[in-house]
Structure 1
């Protein structure tokens, strides 16, 4: 179950190899959760900036983002409702408006060490990033030599039909964080980065149980299912089917005002109270969640079938009308 991270193990090597060979990245740091993966990414950006200049220590995050509940990740989370009881948080973090490039231009500078964002904001209502905006963010990060960090804790590991959701947008981030689906139910997180920004040395960052043989074996099995056994192709097919069925629902039910997302990460915006709809769905045998203030969130298991999607949409329709 546990081997000290002073040593390499075969499962650790196998999991790392599968991740880097199927992504844009060269190095992997394993931890235990999404919040820990984001903490690692934030620390990496801080050190990267510090090596350039003593003043290059500012992190930029997005308003309405969610990156976790540990102190660093909570500071990067641009939602006051999560932060208010834990103030003051870490200094040196600024917040831009998501999908508004002028907002970012106003605060990014030579002092910026990193920009962290989700390509689909999950917690605030399944809000996909605009392609042109994201490309401009990437250009600004290059201009100011700041790391572009993509939080893929919710959107990664096949959720959108690609291994990472950023692949849908034609960009190449410096760092990505992932967790949740990476272990198929086993607690594991990972931060991946490119060689030229891999500035950690032994002692900079670590996790006692990070990368242990059990979780890295699980991660290897998950990766194998995704890239070798057709699961990504399945997600693309059923994700398109889910999108189609939810848009039909939108046309049929007046209280549905929008459907948005990619693959098996979809949001249904409604004019009714999501909490009530979630309860009605649970009574009818479907577990579902809300996001933001007025969105029903669909993030089904990647092995979901078209028949199960039909059943789910029928239950939601019954709860809405």
Structure 2
């Protein structure tokens, strides 16, 4: 018999009943150090008191009114995002997948309104992940994502990651935009070098193409800056955000310049729940904390320590690891063993890791992980690696 919860996940046999900071308590009382943070979501840890207070305060006022009306909490968060980024305008969603849908619509509508309706193609890259909707899986294009879900939405052109000649060749008169993650998450923590992102921005400008950045996983302070593209000193035309922006409450957004968003007028898009008072009250508090320069400086300092300790870990387990890659608190351990084996050994040693493609295990901890917690985390991964290494 099919279970009451649709079995689309191979779930670990763990049921967490309480969380505090980077710690999760299982129903049997075991305490796990969470280095996954709900897949880069809980940027301030579990049950953060500031976020709890923001949510509780708003829950005692109004939960939902719909976007038929002005929502003060939504306006406040939009103003904060516009003030802190390249963007002139923001549309709020409930997830990164929904943000992808709007980003695609926005890019195509832009060219339609410019009198160039043939410009519908969006260039994407191998190893990418932009969500699970029809447009998002078409953007990824991998067999794993699209098999059995045809006909696949047309209008996407796929280029191999790092294939610069292929990228240049893919651009034509029908190209509307290039969509890319500054750091691939699901694809195995593959960062785009700063110069590559600069070159990509220049390529878009030279060819009259919009640049869409997917910062759903790498944004909101995860790399030590508010958004990962800031390291390269460039800006996109459209950007997808989710995960960390809600600190654990479902929230996403599309940020855009006034020009890129010019086609999205009344009636062209909507969301019943997107930008609701509860989500935006929490998001506003997340933004207030995470965008603080002192907070981001601490993230950079602590992530440097974490990277240093992980490099030492890799050196001490040459049979298990190949290296460390990534940026800030978005790091990957490239494995010589099956990532699933290391994740399983991590569970046995009370530490939570997240698998990814390209034989990588991801570390996406809360951004406020302390130095003592970093030391404990690496010690637990070390214990897990010793178990896996003994079987090699």
TM class by smaller structure: over 0.9
Match for residue 208 of structure 1 among 229, 247, 272: 272
Q: Name 2:362's counterpart in structure 1.
A: 297
**Residues in 1 aligned to 2:117 and 2:72: alpha-carbon distance in whole angstroms:** 39
Matched, 1:238 2:298: no
Match for residue 253 of structure 2 among 179, 190, 215: 190
Give the conservation status (yes or no) of the 8 Å contact 2:188–2:359.
yes
Residues 1-321 of structure 1 aligned to structure 2 (within 5 Å): 1-52=63-114, 53-198=116-261, 199-228=263-292, 230-254=294-318, 255-321=320-386
Instruction: Provide Cα deviations, 1:163-210, integer angstroms capped at 9, x if missing partner.
Output: 111111221110111111101110000000001111200111111111
- Which structure would you say has the larger RCO, counting Cα contacts within 8 Å and 6 or more residues apart? 2
Alignment coverage as a number of residue pairs = 321
**Residues in 1 aligned to 2:291 and 2:177: alpha-carbon distance in whole angstroms:** 30
> In the TM superposition, what is the alpha-carbon distance from 1:229 to its structure 2 partner?
7.9
Give the conservation status (yes or no) of the 8 Å contact 1:49–1:112.
no
> In the TM superposition, what is the alpha-carbon distance from 1:141 to its structure 2 partner?
1.1
Give the conservation status (yes or no) of the 8 Å contact 1:174–1:197.
yes
Q: Could you list the runs of 4 or more consecutive aligned residues of structure 1 that deviate by over 4 angstroms after TM superposition?
A: none
**Residues in 1 aligned to 2:113 and 2:124: alpha-carbon distance in whole angstroms:** 21
In structure 1, runs of 5+ residues without a counterpart are none
**Residues in 1 aligned to 2:340 and 2:220: alpha-carbon distance in whole angstroms:** 28
**Residues in 2 aligned to 1:290 and 1:228: alpha-carbon distance in whole angstroms:** 30
Give the conservation status (yes or no) of the 8 Å contact 2:321–2:335.
yes
Q: Which structure has the larger Rg? A: 2
Q: Name 2:33's counterpart in structure 1.
A: none
Give the conservation status (yes or no) of the 8 Å contact 2:354–2:363.
yes
**Residues in 2 aligned to 1:50 and 1:96: alpha-carbon distance in whole angstroms:** 24
TM-score after normalising by structure 2: 0.80
**Residues in 2 aligned to 1:78 and 1:125: alpha-carbon distance in whole angstroms:** 16
Give the conservation status (yes or no) of the 8 Å contact 1:59–1:114.
yes
SS across alignment from 2:157 = strand
Instruction: Provide Cα deviations, 1:235-290, integer angstroms capped at 9, x if missing partner.
Output: 11111111111111122211211110000000010101110110111111111111
Give the conservation status (yes or no) of the 8 Å contact 1:49–1:146.
no
> In the TM superposition, what is the alpha-carbon distance from 1:230 to its structure 2 partner?
3.5
Instruction: Provide Cα deviations, 1:119-140, integer angstroms capped at 9, x if missing partner.
Output: 1011111000122222222112
Q: Name 2:13's counterpart in structure 1.
A: none
TM-score after normalising by structure 1: 0.97
**Residues in 2 aligned to 1:116 and 1:61: alpha-carbon distance in whole angstroms:** 5
**Residues in 1 aligned to 2:328 and 2:199: alpha-carbon distance in whole angstroms:** 24
Give the conservation status (yes or no) of the 8 Å contact 2:97–2:131.
yes
